[in-house]
Each structure stands twice: as structure tokens, then as C-alpha cells.
A and B are shown apart, each in its own frame.
Chain A
């Protein structure tokens, strides 16, 4: 017997606008790749998309495709295809599910609009290793498959304080990238176009931050699970004014929820922070589980990762270098703990869930003792759940459910005392 009353996730009116925007974006990409009237660049999700957009490339993000494969629950069946050609089940399951989908000739974008028959053929692939080395391997595979250039920014890792040396190192690579893109784009780099794109990206980032910050209100008008869906335009369309229009509308809706006293989770009793990747194939299940426990996962490092407050149109290369280096995932544990602590205070959090994603070591921050350190030093309870972003073979629903329920029971005891 499962839950007797079906718990319904409260949808946002703005979702319709977002879905339409995302559909237009996917169709534009597909048409560009078919008509060849516009060039297509593939880019990592926290890569230098602004440079590509300033050249007029249509920009496609394979990680977004990976997340779509995960949330459509297609990934687990597709991963073995990539495993069979030598990509280990232990490496990034975005990579393995995406390459698996390509090999199988499947894309969830076809469900968004039936005109789309596959991924848009790239003219160039551009990665930034600020997230992990897997993106480089992933893009290199496609580079060979399509016979197109693969360019990259090679980042620093485990950064404490972001220094001038870091910024100069990355900014120089970005300037070189702009030069290297000229023959592919068939046009000269345009500094004014880049400045305008960075300006639009910054606005998108600021709006996205405002959206996420509304969750600091008690009760919260949105959940982390909402955020993972609503972040789509901030990932794939930052630098495009349409994304900004959408977030302006979403922000209005959130403010209206707050003023009307509408909570994302009715009877919100507990507020959690999610550290690590989403479990894309289980978003709905985990969202309803949390609702049944009157628990709102109010914030996450993951959704925050598309906030680029450093963007400055007056210094586009330097500010991009800073924005893409000062990201959480690039930093050392001391910085990460300080960051999480700030979030815990700002969002008035009762506990933290660390998701140990089997195939994503770079974004699983529990593996070097952080949860234990954090709860000892700050007195905030932490829970580690085992799972994965896309490979549901690595996830035990019952184990996760029992862990989460027991965690909430523990928080309830703590609140009583």
C-alpha cells in the first residue's frame, strides 16, 4: 500500500512560458543544423557560452541533454551502449547516457517537438574542464564522430582564494579561444557583441539568483525540485534576452506566492539543503516523498551553480574567467564548507542531504568527510544518500526513502527538545 492521498506538486503558471521557450530553442538548434544557415556550437553547461553566442553560434549543451535523458528515465537503458564501446559504468552517466542515446538514435527532444530528429550537428565543440575531465572526453568523442574541431578551457582545481594568476590564466585561454573560433564562425571576433552578451548573461544570473533567494522565505514558495526544472533557460539560454523575460515573469509569480502565503510544501515543517547532483529519474518521487514529510528542500548548490555574479560587461574576459573559476565545484573543501554554511543560514535550513552520486565524484562532496566535519563543527544534521544523477542502477529507492524518513524523524526529535 502506498500513500493514500496523492500529493500534487504545485505547478507554476510560468512553466508554460518556459516550455514554449525551451521548445523554440530546441527547434532553432535543429533547424540551424539542417539548413546550415547558422553555425552550431556545443558547449559545456558552465563553459564560455557567452563567447560562442557573441559570434552568433546556436549553442547546444549536451549536459542539458543528459539531464533530459535522466528525467525521461531513458538513461539507464542507454548507458550500457556506451559501456559496450569502452566507457566505464563508473564514469559520468551524463556522458554514457548521452553517447548511448546517440548510438541508439534516440533523443527526448523529439518528444518536445516532433520536427526534431536528433541532436544538432555541431560545427565546433567547446568545453571547460571547470566541472570535470569527463566533459573533455565526452566532447572529444563527438569531435571524432562529426569530424569537427574540439576546443577547450583548462581550469584550475581545488582553488581556495581566486587570485590574479587564476584569472589571467583562464582569461588568456578565453581570448585565444575567441581567436580560434574566428575561422570556424567565418567572422571576426566582435568585442561589443561579447560585452552585450555578458551583460544579458549577468542579468539572467541576477534574476535566477533572485528566483532562488525567494526560498529563504518561510514557508518557501519553491523547492529544489522545482528549481532543477526552472533552471533550464539559465543553463541553455543565458545571454539570450528571452531567458531574462521568462525569469522576470517567474519572479513575479514567486513574489505573488509569498504575498498570498502559498507554500510549495503545505504545512512546511522542515527545511533542507541539497548538496550534490539531482537524481534526475526520481525528481517527482523525491519531491512527493518530501511533501509527505512536510519537508521542503529549499536550496541547493546545484541550482546555485548558474549564478555568475562576477560577470561584468566592461571586462568580459576577466569577469568570465572569474565567474567560471569561482564556482563551487572548482573550489577547495574549506571554501565549500564556508559556502554551505552561508546557504544554511540564509535559507534557514534544518539539515543537509549530501547526494553521493556514484558516477560524479567531482560533485559528490561527502567523500572526504565533509558531512561529518560539518555536523560536528556547526551542529547541523547531515545525511548521505547513495544514488546517481542518471544511472538508476546505482540507486536503491527503499534505502533512500528509509534514510530520508529516518532523518526527518530525527529532526522532529531535535525540534521537540
Chain B
């Protein structure tokens, strides 16, 4: 079996796959500030999910911002590579991958063979990421898992124009003072996330969206589809795409398909 650990800025995800690339177990936990400890806890949960044992894992690959904090890994890959790999696993061929994560977003272009030809990350700003939605959730006192549900009930299109999360919060207050409905304001919040993504790079053809934001807020995918005309595809377990990609890299490395694991000392135990 092979394991991928995505030690993300907000959440740690673990996926364990077998030799046939079937997902055996997975788990998620908050990353906090103890990345290694969170990874260990998450790994334990993922193993428990199917009664697996750590000694059965032939290789562990890590990704995410905490990838250098997790000691027990055979190799490391950036989350850009891993999300691309997982997206390509579910949707082979020429695709554009959009990963909307807790603290950053990426647009990755893959060619017919699933190889990356280009990518872009968002600039250093919370807008268009999960962190933005968390801020708004805290401001409005609405749990994150309820926000998308409410936004789906919107009847009026409102606009939040600012690039800045703090300024957006001020704009929300203005809309609230104007007596706008909460559902409409929330839709505008998601609309703003979609706009930040669209302005990163052109989205056309088959677009695979991964990451925690799409997992919990499918409305973002609908809005991107509506605005771009692209065909949106959300893979199973989108929040686990990074971890799955890492697990796939581990498997491919083990069978010698993925030879580029020699980035100096960083990728070796």
C-alpha cells in the first residue's frame, strides 16, 4: 500500500491506496501548528478506517506547506504536482486543474498526456481562498457548512467589488445596512471567490476543481461554470486530491515509473 500526506496550511489529509490505485482509507484533521503531530494523528485515523497497519505502507509521499515538517516520508512533491496528478487520475487528457485551498489557489494546465505545461498560484492574498470564507463565516457568525446552503437560496445577484478581504467585510456591512438578504450577500461572497479564480488564468474546456473549498461549497463550481462556460468536473473526495496525488507519486516511484525523486537530500529519508 502507498500513502500520501497532504500537510496543508489549514488541514492535513491522508490517503492510502493499494497497488491498483484503489483508495483504502482516508482521513482529515486540522493542521494547527504541529504539522508532524497532525500528520501522525491523521495517518493513524486513515489506517484505522480500514484496519490497516503502518508497516504495510511501502512508501509515503508528502505534499503541502508542511511537507518538510513530516519526517516519515520517502519523497516530497509540491501540492501543484499532486493536485494535477490526482485530477489527471480521474479525468485523463487535456484538462485545467483549479485547486482552491485553505490559503492559496492554483490553476494548473495539463496536456493530453497529463503533463503540466503551465501553472499559476494566487498572489499572496486570502481573497479567492478558503481563508476568505472562514473570515466571512466568523464575521457573520454562520458556520462554514451552512454558508453554501444559504447562498444556494439567493434570489438577487449582488456584487462585492474589493480585492481585499478586510475591505470585502466592510462591503458586507454596507449591504447588510442596506437591508439586503443574507442569502444574497452570501452568494456574492462565493461570487467573489469565483471571480478571484477566473482572473488568475483563462479557464476553458474541461476544468477539474479540487481542494477543500469545492468539497464543502459546490456553489463555487456552479459560479465558475456560469461565468466561463467551461465544463466543470469535481472528482470524488476533492479535498483529498493533494494527498491522493502524493500517494500516486509514491506508487509510481516504487514501480520505477516516476524517476524524478532525486531533488538532493529533500526527498530522501
Contacts and interface: CB of A to CB of B under 8 A. Distances in A.
Given A381-B118, A409-B260, A3 B265 contact: yes
A392 to B, nearest CB: 12
Contacts of B120: 384
Contacts of B119: 406, 410
Interface residues of B, number: 28
Interface in B24-54: 36
Of the four ranges (under 10, 10 to 19, 20 to 34, 35 or more), the interface on chain A belongs to: 20 to 34
Contact of A292 (B78, B117, B260, B263): B263
A403 B116 CA distance: 13
- Most B-side CB within 10 Å, residue of A1, A291, A414: A1
A413 B259 CA distance: 10
Interface in A55-110: none
A386 B104 CA distance: 14
A5 B265 contact: yes
A165 interface: no
B78 A405 contact: yes
- Most A-side CB within 10 Å, residue of B68, B104, B113, B263: B263
Interface of A: 1-5, 7, 267, 291-294, 375, 381, 384, 386, 394-396, 398-399, 402-403, 405-406, 408-410, 412-414, 416-417
Contacts of B80: 402, 406, 409
B265 A414 contact: no
A-B pairs with lowest CB-CB distance, top 4: A406-B80, A406-B78, A396-B124, A5-B265
A256 B132 CA distance: 55
Given A2-B68, A398-B65, A414-B115, A294 B264 contact: yes
A292 B264 CA distance: 5
A41 to B, nearest CB: 39
B181 interface: no
Interface string B207-225: 0000000000000000000
Contact of B121 (A4, A7, A402, A417): A402
Nearest to B120: A384
A5 B264 contact: yes
A403 B115 contact: no
Contacts of B227: none
B195 to A, nearest CB: 19
Given A405-B78, A413-B116, A1 B69 contact: yes
Contacts of A409: 77-78, 80-81, 116, 260
Given A5-B264, A394-B124, 6 more contacts: A396-B124, A399-B121, A402-B79, A402-B80, A402-B121, A413-B115
Contacts of B36: 1
A398 B103 CA distance: 11
B97 to A, nearest CB: 12
A412 B258 CA distance: 11
Contacts of B116: 409-410, 413
Nearest to A407: B119
B79 A416 contact: no
Contacts of B113: 417
Contacts of A294: 263-264
Contacts of A402: 65, 78-80, 121
Given A2-B68, A412-B260, A403 B265 contact: no
Contacts of A384: 120
B123 interface: yes
A1 B71 contact: yes
A406 B121 CA distance: 10
A371 B82 CA distance: 24
A396 B65 CA distance: 12
- Most A-side CB within 10 Å, residue of B65, B116, B259: B116
Interface in B246-269: 259-260, 263-266
A402 B66 CA distance: 11
Contacts of A394: 124
Interface in B86-128: 104, 113, 115-121, 123-124
Contacts of A1: 36, 68-71
28 contacts: A2-B68, A3-B266, A5-B264, A7-B264, A267-B264, A292-B263, A292-B265, A294-B264, A381-B117, A386-B123, A396-B124, A399-B104, A402-B65, A402-B78, A402-B79, A402-B121, A406-B78, A406-B81, A406-B119, A408-B263, A409-B80, A409-B116, A409-B260, A410-B116, A410-B117, A412-B260, A416-B259, A417-B113
Contacts of B266: 3-4, 292
A105 to B, nearest CB: 32
Contacts of A267: 264
Contacts of A291: 264
A251 B81 CA distance: 40
A409 B69 CA distance: 20
Contacts of A3: 68, 264-266
- Most B-side CB within 10 Å, residue of A7, A267, A402: A402
B263 A386 contact: no
Contacts of B263: 292-294, 405, 408
B65 A375 contact: no
Nearest to A412: B260
B148 to A, nearest CB: 27
